[in-house]
Amino acid sequence: MKEFIQSLPKVELHLHIEGTLEPELMFELAKRNKVDIPFNSVTEVRDAYNFHNLQSFLDIYFQGANVLIHEQDFFELTWAYLLRCKEDNVLHTEVFFDPQAHTERGISFDTVINGIHRALVKAATELNISSKLIMCFLRHLDEVSAFETLAQAQTHKDKIIAVGLDSTEIGNPAGKFERVFNQALEQGFLTVAHAGEEGAASNIYEALNLLKITRIDHGVRCTDDNELVKQLVTERTPLTVCPLSNIKLKVFERMEQHNIVSLLRKGVCVTINSDDPAYFGGYMTDNFLAVNNALPMNKTEIGQFTLNAIEASFISQSEKQRLTIATQSYIDQHQ
Ligand code: ADE
Ligand code: ZN
């Protein structure tokens, strides 16, 4: 099954590019950019990755992002992630970035997006990996800052498919960003949002109703509400689930208790994603393996995660068809 999972075509829909910063690159950039980091070695950094909830992770995540200064840094960060995608046979990826994590430190929006975008373009030609870019607003910041960020994105609309919402869920309800999301929708952006990660199932309803989101990032707390699960099945609303992240951030204590396989069997459009792989101990293949080790599935079920991700992606109908055929024939050939 390991070989089947390793070579299975994959599509990633929930990946924070800042969360792919491996300690080795963090050190290299800290040195190159003369940024102080509170660690003396790569081992010390990895030892600090013991989180007890989302906030304890976010503190370290924003601290790590401080080493990213120049366009080239953002390019190298993104390129390193795309090379990992190639190893895991990820054919398409939809990448989040957090502009405010950088503009708040005086780095320009253009520097950030141009570096990331250059790597994505190079991957399309050199690695045959397609991509989309999703701009997230940090929900712990205010509406004014989100509007400013949306304004900065105007000259880069051709590079951004959707806006999203991440960072601290508890205490920062979706409603705080209803007006920003409405403006983004009017401007032609699609919308997604983190909801029901550590916050309640009601946050999922709120994100769906107020922010008009096309898919829910995480959403695993939906199982607290049977009616909501039924609605997700009927409407085929996708959930971008991040299994290793959920264990690291104690959303579930053990992978055996994770609800992803049970949601799949109920007919919810669940997908497997890596969230912040440098911090949570694994990229796409690692996430698939971790789920299957704890909650064994057959090959059709494992393949369904990719078919769901293709369905939930923001690519054209013809691209969806092409990837679906490739994935289905891989599954059929390996029965
Ligand atoms: N930013 C990066 N990873 C995140 C997560 N899992 N939840 C909320 N915000 C995030
Ligand atoms: Zn996330």
Instruction: Specify the pLDDT at position 116.
Output: 99
Integer Cα distance of 219 and 221 in angstroms: 6
Instruction: Specify the pLDDT at position 123.
Output: 98
Integer Cα distance of 14 and 290 in angstroms: 17
* Angle at which helices 71-87 and 23-33 cross, to 10°: 160
Say if ligand 1 is within 6 A of residue 194 CB: yes
Instruction: Specify the pLDDT at position 240.
Output: 99
Mean pLDDT of 198-224: 98
Mean residue pLDDT across the chain: 97
- Of 51-60, 106-115, 146-155, 183-192, least confident by mean pLDDT is 51-60
Q: Reading across the β-sheet that carries 215-218, which strands appear in turn? A: 10-16, 90-97, 130-138, 162-166, 190-195, 215-218, 239-241, 270-272
Between CA 260 and CA 294, with CA 255 as vertex, the angle to 5 degrees is 90
Instruction: Specify the pLDDT at position 189.
Output: 98
**What would the 3-class secondary structure string for 157-192 be?**
HHHCCEEEEECCCCCCCHHHHHHHHHHHHHCCCEEE
Instruction: Specify the pLDDT at position 246.
Output: 98
- The strand ranges marked E within the chain are 10-16, 90-97, 130-138, 162-166, 190-195, 215-218, 239-241, 270-272
Could you tell me the pLDDT band of residue 167, with boundaries at 50, 70 and 90?
very high
Longest dimension (CA), the chain: 53
- Residue nearest (by alpha carbon) to ligand 1 atom 6: 275
Q: Indicate if the alpha-carbon torsion angle 148, 149, 152, 153 is positive or negative.
A: negative
First to last CA, the chain: 11
Integer Cα distance of 289 and 297 in angstroms: 10
- Residue nearest (by alpha carbon) to ligand 1 atom 8: 167
77-92 per-position pLDDT tens digit: 999 999 999 999 999 9
- Give the C-alpha distances (Å, rounded to integers) separating 275 from 29, 45, 267, 323, 334: 22, 19, 23, 22, 28
- Give the C-alpha distances (Å, rounded to integers) separating 237 from 3, 214, 266, 283, 306: 30, 7, 13, 24, 15
pLDDT > 70 fraction of the chain, expressed in percent and rounded: 100
Could you tell me the pLDDT band of residue 144, with boundaries at 50, 70 and 90?
very high
227-261 per-position pLDDT tens digit: 999 999 999 999 999 999 999 999 999 999 999 99
Instruction: Specify the pLDDT at position 331.
Output: 98
- 135 φ, ψ (degrees, to nearest 5): -90, 120
The kind and range of the H/E element at 98 are none
Say if ligand 1 is within 6 A of residue 18 CB: no
188-201 per-position pLDDT tens digit: 999 999 999 999 99
The minimum-distance atom of ligand 1 relative to the CA of 166 is 9
Global confidence as pTM: 0.98
Task: List, in order of start, the domains of the chain with CATH numbers.
Answer: 2-333 (3.20.20.140)
The residue among 293, 231, 230, 307 whose CA lies nearest residue 258 is 293
The residue among 178, 176, 202 whose CA lies nearest residue 191 is 178
Integer Cα distance of 150 and 100 in angstroms: 10
Instruction: Specify the pLDDT at position 30.
Output: 96
Integer Cα distance of 291 and 293 in angstroms: 6
Which amino acids are annotated catalytic?
197
**Which ligand is closest in space to the CA of residue 247?**
1
Structure tokens given for 112: 């950030």
Say if ligand 1 is within 6 A of residue 197 CB: yes
The minimum-distance atom of ligand 1 relative to the CA of 19 is 2
- Of 37-41, 145-149, 195-199, least confident by mean pLDDT is 37-41
Residue 335 alpha carbon to ligand 2 centre in Å = 33
Instruction: Specify the pLDDT at position 230.
Output: 98
Instruction: Specify the pLDDT at position 252.
Output: 98
